[in-house]
Amino acid sequence: MTPAQPDMTAPGPGATSAATGADSGSGSGSGSGGTRRRALRGDRSRGGAGRGAGGPARRSAAARGTARPGIGWALPAVVFFGLFALVPLVMVAVLSFTSWSGLGSPSFAGLTNWTKLFHDPVMIQSLWLSVLLTGLGVVVQTPLSILIGVWAAGPQRGRAVLAAVFFVPLLLSVTAVSVLWRALLDPNFGVPAQARWLFGDGDLFGSRTGAIGVLVLVSAWQYTPLHSLIYQGATRAIPKVLYQAAAVDGAGRVRQFFHITLPQLRNAIVTSVILMVVGGLTTFDSVLILTQGGPGTDTTITAFYMYEKAFKSFDYGAGAAIALLLVVVATAISLVVVRLSGYDRMAGTQEGLS
Amino acid sequence: MSATVGPPAAGPRTARSARRAARRADAAGSAVGSRPNYLAGAGAFLWLCVVGLPVYVMLGASVRTKPDYTAGGPLSLPGTFGFGAFTRDFSSGFGRYFLNTAVVTVSVVAIVLLLVPPLAFAIVRNRGRATSGVFRLFLLGLAVPAQAVIVPMFYLISKAGLYDNLIGVILPTAAFCLPVCALILTGTMRDIGAELFEAMAIDGADTRRVFFQLVLPLSRGGLSTIVVFSALQAWNGFLFPLVLTQSESSKVLTLGLYNFQTQYGTDIPALLAAVVLSTVPVLLVYLFARRALVQGLMGVGGK
């Protein structure tokens, strides 16, 4: 392979005009053979590394030629993020070892908050409740959103229109959705008051099962569209060849779904479930508005308990300790997210094709 | 994943028409020999009811009078029609909340637009060890939920004298948009071909010119996604305003809804009219910029 010269000079004028014309499509088209081949491979993440493959001479020419931004470009964002996200994160750890009522300054309290926390039945229960609600959310939403997503991925025009309507709940804020459902299920003015034959005394928020059911229902109503969108995209990316081959073999619609669609959606399922888990563990707004953690403490999940401890009982130290617990759990899960959404994921379902 | 379905909006006409052609080919291919799926149709209709009924109740109730709603129940057809519920909302302060929310949203978007493009540019083009550390920092930032830092945030904002001030809501809200926005925009900027940078270099362009004349124009798709994402975060934000503001004059819409519900819980038409009000701007964006909105809503989920 010849070093830099032809590759560097040939696309010069063409690429520059493309750049000012802001047209990435013609930009790669007017490039040299090397560029085109890279584009054909569709290997965008390695676009930079591909340049190095030409040998050391070529790399140094490029490095000398291109103006690279210094770290200073990143500095404002880093400082801002550090100040408003990382400093509080460190402080939450510090505050969890202090006692502070919101007035004056926090005073060191050692492990008091932590020992109290681990002997607090409401706290232990809140962890279980968080896991229960998250698990129920995954169990309810995953099959629903797979069915809707696969259905919406079909080429029919009517499906696209309906899918756009299905999207509406996602446009409302969590607050709005919770307020709406609270009004809808109100024991005195809502649907239960009109349909006593179905709801009994009509107070869904008065029993543990009812309250948990409402929370699961409302979050499914709001978030199913998001997850079905993920599945819709993933389904459209499944190679048509697979279905054609299956049809030739005489596989019907149901068998195609279970033997092609579902296995091909594996990565999408992982992504969607992780999003559900992280979202579920940090649920707060809907609990505050719909059930206030009640009846009693029957729906007091961890994030809500943290809010109650800190901002209702003014025990900020305990609140910080609960928050830290939340961070640890969320970080552990997010590390899994980063691992799973890495490059190893990309190759996954396309083995043996091409 | 969705990138394979719909490429970022940067590649204009050619990509779009290719996509359209592909869709047509799909339709032709699968229309052959496939019967209509009645079961799926029935299921879709059922889900339409599940989605539609609450939306109908919301819209229906907002134009009814209070006695009509109470007598007929949520699902009945409106017997009256009027905008009294909306008027009651505005007289109880929703105009102010609306304005405050708009201020917060515009400021958050402005901060994000100022900070994220240079950050993403540095992450993508500066290959030093420091910048990859910066990127990892923001990836870890994805894991930090707002709930986790709300206690120290309250402490910091109070100490800074920003409690009950919209600035105290704007700053943390913007900070918590940064990780997702950085991830989205670096994804877009990575798609810019290296040969374009080389060509700019041959023309003798300095870093600033590369940024403004090459990187920014070619990142329009990603930029519109982060604008929509951060605007939604700010518009729908609840926890920071709940904890960091108090008085009527610095209340935002979501908080207004929450307070309205706890204080005047029986005036459900006015309550639902307020819900409608708070959703109208998002609905408008959905009608006119659906693609950017969907990608903004998906955040990293779509990547």
Nearest C-alpha in B relative to A13: B199
Q: Give domain status of residue A308, yes or no.
A: yes
CATH fold group of domain B103-268+277-302 = MetI-like fold (1.10.3720)
Average the pLDDT over A317-341 and give the result: 77
pLDDT at residue B120, rounded to an integer:
93
Q: Give domain status of residue A161, yes or no.
A: yes
The whole model's pTM is what? Answer: 0.78
Is the pLDDT reported for residue B215 higher than 70?
A: yes
Identify all chain A residues contacting B268, using CB atoms and an 8 Å cutoff. Answer: 183, 186, 189
Summarised one tens digit per residue, pLDDT across range B106-159 is 999 999 999 999 999 999 888 788 888 888 888 878 778 888 889 999 999 998
Q: Do B118 and A77 touch (CB under 8 A)?
A: yes
**Full DSSP string of B29-53:** HHHTT----HHHHHHHHHHHHHHHH
Q: Give domain status of residue A183, yes or no.
A: yes
For residue A93, the number of C-alpha atoms closer than 13 Å in the C-beta half-sphere is 7
Residues 6+ apart with CB under 8 A from A150: A231, A232, A235, A257, A261, A265
Least confident of A42-46, A223-227, A228-232: A42-46
Q: Between residues A271 and B163, which one has the greater pLDDT?
A: B163
pLDDT band at A348, cuts 50/70/90? very low
Least confident of A46-55, A342-351, B34-43, B283-292: A46-55
pLDDT at residue A136, rounded to an integer:
94
pLDDT at residue A71, rounded to an integer:
83
Average the pLDDT over A311-332 and give the result: 86
Identify all chain B residues contacting A9, using CB atoms and an 8 Å cutoff. Answer: 202
Q: Do A71 and B131 touch (CB under 8 A)?
A: yes
pLDDT at residue A137, rounded to an integer:
93
Distance, CA of A130 to CA of A133 (rounded, Å): 5
pLDDT at residue B237, rounded to an integer:
92
Summarised one tens digit per residue, pLDDT across range A16-40 is 333 333 333 333 333 333 333 343 3
Q: Side chain identity at A163, as an amino acid letter? A: A
pLDDT band at A214, cuts 50/70/90? very high
pLDDT at residue B60, rounded to an integer:
86
Is the pLDDT reported for residue B213 higher than 80?
A: yes
Identify all chain B residues contacting A226, using CB atoms and an 8 Å cutoff. Answer: 297-298, 301
pLDDT at residue B14, rounded to an integer:
52
pLDDT at residue A40, rounded to an integer:
38
Task: Give the angle subtended at the CA of B243 by the CAs of B238 and B245, to the nearest 5°.
Answer: 90
CATH code, domain with A320:
1.10.3720.10
pLDDT at residue A338, rounded to an integer:
58
Whole-angstrom distance between the N-terminal and C-terminal Cα of chain A? 27
Q: Do B121 and A154 touch (CB under 8 A)?
A: no
Spatial CA neighbour of B151 closest among A143, A296, A102, A224: A102
Q: Is B119 helix (H, G, I), strand (E, B) or coil?
A: helix
Spatial CA neighbour of B57 closest among B34, B35, B78: B78
Distance, CA of A353 to CA of B89 (rounded, Å): 59
Dihedral angle computed from the Cα positions of residues B63, B69, B75 and B80, in that order, rounded to the nearest 10 degrees:
-50
Identify all chain B residues contacting A339, using CB atoms and an 8 Å cutoff. Answer: none
Q: Give domain status of residue A206, yes or no.
A: yes
Given a contact cutoff of 8 angstroms between Cβ atoms, the answer to whether A19 and A27 are in contact is yes
Nearest to A334 among B61, B142, B261 (CB): B142
Q: Do A155 and B30 touch (CB under 8 A)?
A: yes
Distance, CA of B16 to CA of A66 (rounded, Å): 31
Nearest to B118 among A76, A253, A303 (CB): A76
pLDDT at residue A68, rounded to an integer:
80
Q: Give domain status of residue A15, yes or no.
A: no
pLDDT at residue B118, rounded to an integer:
94
Nearest to A85 among B144, B236, B266 (CB): B144
Distance, CA of B74 to CA of B61 (rounded, Å): 7
Helix runs in chain B, H state only: 2-5, 13-31, 38-62, 66-72, 84-91, 94-125, 129-141, 146-159, 166-190, 194-202, 207-209, 216-218, 220-236, 239-244, 253-263, 268-288, 290-298
Q: Do B122 and A186 touch (CB under 8 A)?
A: no
Is the pLDDT reported for residue B193 higher than 60?
A: yes
- Establish, for the pair of chains A and B, how many residue pairs have beta carbons separated by less than 8 Å: 380
Q: Do A165 and B121 touch (CB under 8 A)?
A: no
pLDDT at residue A45, rounded to an integer:
40
| Min distance A65 CA to chain B CA atoms (Å) | 5
Distance, CA of A171 to CA of B286 (rounded, Å): 8
State what percent of residues in chain A have pLDDT above 90.
Answer: 24
Nearest to B236 among A28, A154, A173 (CB): A173
Average the pLDDT over B270-298 and give the result: 83
| Min distance B8 CA to chain A CA atoms (Å) | 11
pLDDT at residue B41, rounded to an integer:
85
Gyration radius (Cα) of chain B, Å: 24
pLDDT band at B88, cuts 50/70/90? confident
Summarised one tens digit per residue, pLDDT across range A63-95 is 445 668 888 888 999 999 999 988 998 999 999
pLDDT band at A192, cuts 50/70/90? confident
Average the pLDDT over A326-344 and give the result: 64
pLDDT at residue A4, rounded to an integer:
35
**Which residues are registered as beta bridge partners of A108?**
A98
Report how far apart, in Å, the C-alpha atoms of A254 and of each of A158, A240, A265 are. Answer: 22, 16, 15
Distance, CA of A26 to CA of A44 (rounded, Å): 16
Average the pLDDT over B31-57 and give the result: 81
Spatial CA neighbour of B303 closest among B226, B214, B197: B226
Is the pLDDT reported for residue B169 higher than 70?
A: yes
Average the pLDDT over A103-128 and give the result: 87
Domain range for A206 is 121-347
Is the pLDDT reported for residue A126 higher than 50?
A: yes
Q: Do B206 and A151 touch (CB under 8 A)?
A: no
Q: Give domain status of residue A142, yes or no.
A: yes
Q: Do A330 and B190 touch (CB under 8 A)?
A: no
Per-residue tokens: A24: 């990435």
pLDDT at residue A266, rounded to an integer:
82
State what percent of residues in chain A have pLDDT above 70.
Answer: 72
Q: Give domain status of residue A329, yes or no.
A: yes
Q: Give domain status of residue A353, yes or no.
A: no
Nearest to B202 among A8, A23, A288 (CB): A8
Given a contact cutoff of 8 angstroms between Cβ atoms, the answer to whether B197 and B214 are in contact is yes
pLDDT at residue B106, rounded to an integer:
96
pLDDT band at B15, cuts 50/70/90? low
Least confident of A37-46, B206-215, B252-261: A37-46
ipTM above 0.90, yes or no: no
- The domain total for chain A is 1
Q: 3-state SS of chain A?
A: CCCHHHHHHCCHHHHHHHHHCCCHHHHHHCCCHHHHHHHHHCCCCCHHHHHHCCCHHHHHHHHHHCCCCCHHHCHHHHHHHHHHHHHHHHHHHHHCCEECCCCCCCEECCCHHHHHHHCCHHHHHHHHHHHHHHHHHHHHHHHHHHHHHHHHCCCCHHHHHHHHHHCHHHHCCHHHHHHHHHHHCCCCCCHHHHCHHHHCCCCHHHCHHHHHHHHHHHHHHHHHHHHHHHHHHHHHCCCHHHHHHHHHCCCCHHHHHHHHHHHHCHHHHHHHHHHHHHHHHCCCHHHHHHCCCCCCCCCCCHHHHHHHHHHHCCCHHHHHHHHHHHHHHHHHHHHHHHHHCCCHHHHHHHCCCC
Identify all chain A residues contacting B271, using CB atoms and an 8 Å cutoff. Answer: 179, 183
Which of A189, A198, A349 should we substitute to test contact with B (largest number of B Cβ atoms within 10 Å)? A189
pLDDT, chain A, mean: 76
Q: What are phi and psi of A99, to 5 degrees?
A: -120, 125
